[in-house]
Structure 1
Amino acid sequence: MSRQIIHTDDAPAAIGPYSQAVKIGDTVYLSGQIPLDAATMTMVNATIEDEIHQVFKNLRAVCTAAGGGLGDIAKLNIFLTDLGHFATVNAIMVQYFSAPFPARAAIGVASLPRGSRIEADAVMVLG
């Protein structure tokens, strides 16, 4: 099975040696997204709500570039530097996802790139 690298200018460019996503067959592996603005590569971090929205917008842009959408995500991983934001993530997530929701993990971590308070990656299945 061939690997296809997914790239879009509508999501932040990779800040390391990785691709925004890799498609193998009908499965797309999305790299972690932090709340970077794609146009300026600056953090959108005035509030945790701003960060959460930007992360979901970035994931959506990569999903679209791969030929799918957020509704095609089978597994979502969310990393938070403060699990006290768990309820806020849930409240905002339902603005981007609808039932049936993807499988999900929410993991507390000590730190994230560029001082982000949230990062999310995903596995999307097309078809």
Structure 2
Amino acid sequence: MPKRVVYAPDVAIPVKAYSQAIDTGSLVFCSGQLAYDAKNDAVFSESAAEQTDYLMQNIQVILDAAGLQLRDVVKTTIFLTDMNDFVSVNEVYARYFDLDPPARSTIGVNALAKGAKVEIEVIASRT
């Protein structure tokens, strides 16, 4: 199967340099999601925990557009601008992956687009 662009119209439309997700048939690669509210051109909330909740909902919508669910996620990468937010972000994240959570990396970064505190990317599998 050739790669297919996945598009979920309820999630902020990415700039032309990337797609929300790419479906290869067996794997779906979701671009990093921010808690970005496109209607207001702003990041949702000041709290890293609230941003995590908002962006995880966006990830669910994108996976749904690809015909998958969060239980199909096999790998995530979390980017945090402040590692002091690790515990609060992890508490929210764990609610979305309460059974057999995926493999994960968490990386501290200097800054994220739009001034966000958290970005999460996922890889999901059809197997």
TM-score (structure 1 length as normaliser): 0.93
Instruction: Give the match's secondary structure for 2:37.
Output: coil
CA distance in structure 2 between the aligned counterparts of 1:67 and 1:11, rounded to whole angstroms: 16
CA distance in structure 2 between the aligned counterparts of 1:40 and 1:125, rounded to whole angstroms: 33
Question: In structure 1, what is the equivalent of residue 112 of structure 2?
Answer: 112
Question: In structure 1, what is the equivalent of residue 44 of structure 2?
Answer: 44
Deviating 4+ runs (over 6 angstroms): none
**CA deviation map 1:80-113 (0-9, x unaligned):** 0001111111111122112200000000000000
Question: Unpaired segments of 5 or more residues in structure 2?
Answer: none
Instruction: Give the match's secondary structure for 2:18.
Output: coil
Question: In structure 1, what is the equivalent of residue 61 of structure 2?
Answer: 61
Question: Unpaired segments of 5 or more residues in structure 1?
Answer: none
TM-score (structure 2 length as normaliser): 0.93
Question: In structure 2, what is the equivalent of residue 30 of structure 1?
Answer: 30
Query: 1:24: Cα distance to partner?
Result: 0.4
Q: How many residues align?
A: 127
RMSD between superposed Cα atoms in Å: 1.4
Stretch deviating more after TM superposition (112-121 or 29-38): 29-38
| Counterparts in 2 of 1:16 and 1:79: CA distance versus 1, 3 Å | farther
Question: In structure 2, what is the equivalent of residue 85 of structure 1?
Answer: 85
Query: 1:12: Cα distance to partner?
Result: 1.3
Instruction: Give the match's secondary structure for 1:95.
Output: helix
CA contact (8 A) 2:42 2:114 kept: no
Query: 1:16: Cα distance to partner?
Result: 4.4
| Counterparts in 2 of 1:80 and 1:95: CA distance versus 1, 3 Å | same
